[in-house]
Amino acid sequence: MVEGLTVSLTRAGPLAVEAVFQVPPGQTLALVGPSGAGKSTILKAIAGLLPTTGTVRVDGQDWQTGPHGLPAWQRRVGLVLQGGGLFPHLDALGNVTIAQTSPERDAALALLAAMQMDGPVLGRRPAGLSGGEQMRVALARALARAPDVLLLDEPFAAVDPPVRRALIAAVANVRRQSAAPMIIVTHDLAEAAGIADACAFIDAGRIVEQGPAAAVLADPASRLNQWLAG
């Protein structure tokens, strides 16, 4: 039985975090809140990059059990960081093949093509790619691991509006290609409304409101969320 992702995490500091939520298979949760609220911290904790206490269950497997939990390198996570987080010494194709369990050039090329990346640009290193191109490669790399969970940390923050619209379409393509539960961090309510099935507002490390995206964004209950909504 495929159960998706269930998270119940606490972290004492330096930024205290308290988060409880669930993301079913094939659905997307948007974590929304101001800068410094703890959104990225939660993503990194799920990926195993930060120490936390609590539970991260993926399809029934608890990644936090044992003396140290499941190490980050064993967690099948497709992680897209702000700016893409590409390896600067590898070209676009190399950044995707390195994420594969067994490097398969044709499969990597297909993933890049699905992100509208082909031709000579695949031989360029990140320094020779635009911000939008870097993010497309990062999305393809995230899928290359055949992940159990997809984690996207403000993937549109550093690009212009026309590129942002194209990248939102690319994320929708990711959603079609993978049934893994996906979490996207954003501070843009329009992005959350266009991408997510559910939405969770975060303030000072705590989830203060969550529910179906359309309902929560249409009628935010907390004062913070009313301010974010304008």
Element (DSSP H or E) covering residue 194: helix 189-195
Look at residue 150 in the predicted model and tell me its pLDDT: 94
Here the tokens at position 10 are 């606490």
Lowest mean pLDDT among 97-101, 122-126, 169-173, 222-226: 222-226
Of 10-14, 41-45, 213-217, where does the model show the most confidence? 41-45
Statement: residue 68 has pLDDT above 70: no
Beta partners for 200?
Answer: 31, 210
Q: Mean pLDDT over all residues of the chain?
A: 87
Which amino acid type is present at position 180?
Answer: A
Statement: residue 92 has pLDDT above 90: yes
Lowest mean pLDDT among 64-73, 96-105, 220-229: 220-229
Q: First-to-last CA distance in the chain?
A: 42
User: Quick one: average pLDDT of 71-87?
Assistant: 89
Statement: residue 224 has pLDDT above 80: no
Look at residue 1 in the predicted model and tell me its pLDDT: 44
Length of the chain: 230
pLDDT digits (tens, 9 = 90+) for 112-161: 998 989 999 999 999 999 988 999 999 999 999 889 999 999 888 777 77
Ramachandran angles phi, psi of 209, nearest 5°: -170, 135
d(CA 91, CA 133): 12
Please give the angle made by the CA atoms of 93, 97 and 103, to the nearest 5 degrees.
135
Here the tokens at position 135 are 């993010």
Look at residue 156 in the predicted model and tell me its pLDDT: 81
Q: At 2, is the pLDDT very low, low, confident or very high (cuts 50, 70, 90)?
A: low
For the beta sheet containing 77-80, the strands, ordered from the edge strand earlier in sequence to the opposite edge, are 61-62, 53-58, 5-11, 17-23, 206-212, 198-203, 28-32, 182-186, 149-153, 77-80
d(CA 26, CA 162): 27
The Cα diameter of the chain in Å comes to 50
**Cβ neighbourhood burial of 162 (10 Å; 0-12, 13-18, 19+):** exposed
d(CA 148, CA 25): 9
Lowest mean pLDDT among 76-90, 102-116, 118-132, 216-230: 216-230
User: Quick one: average pLDDT of 58-87?
Assistant: 85
121 DSSP 8-state letter: G
Beta partners for 17?
Answer: 11
Q: Is the pTM of this model over 0.75?
A: yes
Here the tokens at position 20 are 């409880």
Look at residue 145 in the predicted model and tell me its pLDDT: 86
pLDDT digits (tens, 9 = 90+) for 174-204: 888 888 999 999 887 878 888 899 999 898 8
d(CA 152, CA 142): 9
Statement: residue 209 has pLDDT above 50: yes
d(CA 200, CA 31): 5
